[in-house]
Every structure is written in structure tokens, then in C-alpha cells.
Amino acid sequence: MAATIIDGKAFAATVREKVAGHVARLKEENGITPGLAVVLVGEDPASQVYVRSKGKQTVEVGMNSYEHKMDADTSEEDLLAVIDQLNNDASVHGILVQLPLPGHLNEDLIINSISPEKDVDGFHISNVGLLGTGQKSMVPCTPLGCLMMLRDHHGSLSGLNAVVIGRSNIVGKPMAQLLLGDSCTVTIAHSRTKDLPDVVRGADIVVAAVGRPEMVPGDWIREGATVIDVGINRIDAPEKGEGKTRLVGDVHYESAAAVAGAITPVPGGVGPMTIACLLANTVTACCRANGLAEPEGLTA
């Protein structure tokens, strides 16, 4: 039996619809428009594409979008001054500093200068600690998107065995915390895990976030398991012509889809959920800042 395809593009569209509905109600009932500020330092092409997409989708759901583009040689002092200004701007409810930053800037220092309440990426050390101790926090967007899709597919996650492959601060660790919060039994696996294939075969849920193209083959997947592939890797595709490439995940899709119960494709799986959850986090931050009830279905 072929796996159910978890369509992240379609699911992200439903999340954005919910966000737009909450934004409309905030405007109508409270006279408040959520605002998202994105800070881009330098000319990294991929970052420029992401920032444009974020700005476009922010406006489409009815929120205010503020973009601050700074030169690649911007000093730490100048960048911190912009963040301080945004921290103190009541019209800005979410602040995102696009990563990676130029090498002369201390990413930890910059991220931790953002007000935790406006840290819609969920990377501030205070939010990391709150999430790790099961308290209310801003949740990193990619893991939040994965959790939403898993809840939608399974309903309750309670009691399921979950293996997260990857231990990054951006995806692996917060993903494990979210799954624990939904009462999964969680294993964090990585490149040095002994008998990694056997560890993965014991999972009802596999979240692959290692950044290695097609590292996880289908024979690692237990029959009927749910596979969430966070990886986005570009590899050579000579079959498409000289110099051509294609996107693949951390899971070998064809072999995994033959045994899994459900699987996210790459592209079109987890990727579209990240910006959708950024918008959701901004609405959540706006509601919290104004003492209003949080939007249902958009938070962990």
C-alpha cells in the first residue's frame, strides 16, 4: 500500500487562511494589526528570496510587513541599535533576523538581543529554556510546522514512539521537546548513534533533520510509520541535462514511500510550513502582547 502524501503546501495554505481570519478579527474587534519586522544583513541570494517571500505572505494575510535591509559590512553596534528600536516599537509584534549573518557578526549575541516576546523564530535562549521546561514560549517555526502536520494526521500523538534524526538547535532539539510535550516517547538520534537503522525501525514517527541527501533509506522505516522529512538538499541531476540539479530530502523518498504509512515530499512538504508558522507565531505574539486569547490551532 502506497503511503499517504502529507501535502505541506496545501496544509500551509490552510494555516495562512486561519492566520488571515485571526488578523481580520484583531483589526475589527480590537483595532490592532499584527506587525512583522524582518532584518536582512548583506546580499546573500537565498536570504533575499526568503525575505521577499516572507514579506509577500505577511501582507497577503493582512499583517504589516517591515523590512530593514543593511549592508554586509554593518557593524554589530548598528545592527543592535536597529533591533533595540524594533524591540521598543509597539507596532512590531514579531522580529526576525535573517540567518546566516556575515561572519564578523556574533549570531548568538544578535539573536539574544531580540525581545523574547517578539522572537518569532523561537531562537532566543529564554524561549529555548521555556520550551525545554514545558512553559509557554515562542516555538521555532519548522518544528512547529512538523508538529501541526503530525497532529493533523494522527490526532493524538500520545504514547507513540518518535525518533528525531538530528540534534540541531533549530530543528532536532526543539522537535524532540514538542513531541515530548504531546506525550510521545522520544529518541534523538544522530551520526554517532549506534545501530541507527535499528533505532529508526522502532519508530512510529520518524523526523529526519540531518542535512544529508537521502541518508535514510526505505529499509530503515517501519511499515506504516509516519515520516517527516525536514531536509532540503540540492544534488546533481545529470538526467535533466548538464549542470542541472534537483531537490531531495534526508529520506530516500521512493523506497520510504513504499513502506511508510504517511510521508512528506521534498519539495512541497515541511518547507512551505515554515513561513506559515512564522505568520502564526506573529499573531500569537500580538495576542500575548495585548492580553488577548491566543489563536486556537496555531500554537504548540
Residues pairing with 71 in the sheet: none
The end-to-end CA distance of the chain, in Å, is: 32
Query: Does residue 98 carry a catalytic annotation?
Result: yes
Q: Is 121 a catalytic residue?
A: yes
Contact 36, 58 (CB under 8 A): yes
Annotated catalytic, 152? no
- Rounded Cα gap, residues 251 and 274, in angstroms: 19
As a whole-number percent, the residues of the chain with pLDDT over 70 amount to 100
Q: What is the mean pLDDT of residues 235-257?
A: 90
Q: What is the band of 1 on the pLDDT scale with cuts at 50, 70, 90? A: low
Q: How many CA atoms lie within 13 A of 71 on its CB side?
A: 4
Q: Once rounded to an integer, what is the mean pLDDT over residues 32-55?
A: 93
Task: Give the 3-state secondary structure of residue 262.
Answer: strand
Q: Answer yes or no: are the C-beta atoms of 142 and 164 closer than 8 Å.
A: no
Return d(Cα 147, Cα 153) in angstroms, integer. 10
- Measured between alpha carbons, how far is 143 from 136 in angstroms, rounded to an integer? 15
Task: Quick: pLDDT tens for 187-226.
Answer: 999 989 999 999 999 999 999 999 999 999 999 999 999 9
- Position 287 scores a pLDDT of 98
Please pick, among 57, 118, 121, 177, the residue that the annotation labels catalytic.
121
Q: Which of 18, 57, 98, 118 is catalytic?
A: 98
Catalytic residue among 18, 54, 118, 173: 54
- Higher confidence at residue 296 or residue 113? 113
What is the pTM assigned to this prediction? 0.95
